[in-house]
Amino acid sequence: MSDKGMMEKEEIFSKVLRAGRRTYFFDVRSTRANDYYLTITESKKFTNDDGSFYYKKHKIYLYKEDFDGFREILEEMTNYIVNEKGEEVISERHQKDFKKEYDDDDSEKNAAATSSNAEKFTDVSFDDI
């Protein structure tokens, strides 16, 4: 069988999810027995020091007999995360001014701590000892 014939038979249905530096590919493929399975591929873009880039890919093969268990655990885990932490993204990669906010908060805390500490300590002269 030609490569072209094999490719047409193997890839049945595909969807792509672009998410920042990551891209997720969901592909329905065909087995030799003409049954279907799902591959989920995470492709992440990296940049070399010279400005060129490359991709690292990770792939999961998911077969029909595992769909129910996979779906149940995925739903349980995603619900847990949303229930515990909410839907807001708090990663600094997703906040353009995160560093600025952090620096401002940090300097305010340091100033407050310094003035607070100054009130707690008494000026001691070594001549008194």
Q: Is residue 44 situated within a structural domain?
A: yes
Q: What is the pLDDT of residue 125?
A: 46
Q: What is the pLDDT of residue 21?
A: 86
Beta strands in the chain (DSSP E): 11-19, 22-30, 36-47, 53-63
Q: Is residue 43 situated within a structural domain?
A: yes
Find where tokens 């001691």 sit. 124
Q: By C-alpha distance, which of 68, 65, 6, 5 is closest to 37?
A: 65
Its domain, for residue 4, covers: 1-72
DSSP secondary structure, 93-108, as one string: GG-TTHHHHHHHHHHH
Q: Could you tell me the pTM of the whole model?
A: 0.59
Q: Is residue 96 situated within a structural domain?
A: no
Q: What is the pLDDT of residue 96?
A: 53
Residue 19's domain is classified under what CATH number?
3.10.450.700
Domain count, the chain: 1
Residues in the chain, pLDDT under 50? 1-2, 4-9, 100-102, 113-126, 128-129
Q: Is residue 21 situated within a structural domain?
A: yes
Q: What is the pLDDT of residue 63?
A: 96
Q: Is residue 126 situated within a structural domain?
A: no
User: For residue range 26-37, what is the model confidence (pLDDT) as tens digits?
Assistant: 999 999 999 999
Q: Is residue 80 situated within a structural domain?
A: no
Q: Is residue 52 situated within a structural domain?
A: yes
Q: What is the pLDDT of residue 124?
A: 45
- The helix/strand count (H/E) of the chain reads as 3, 4
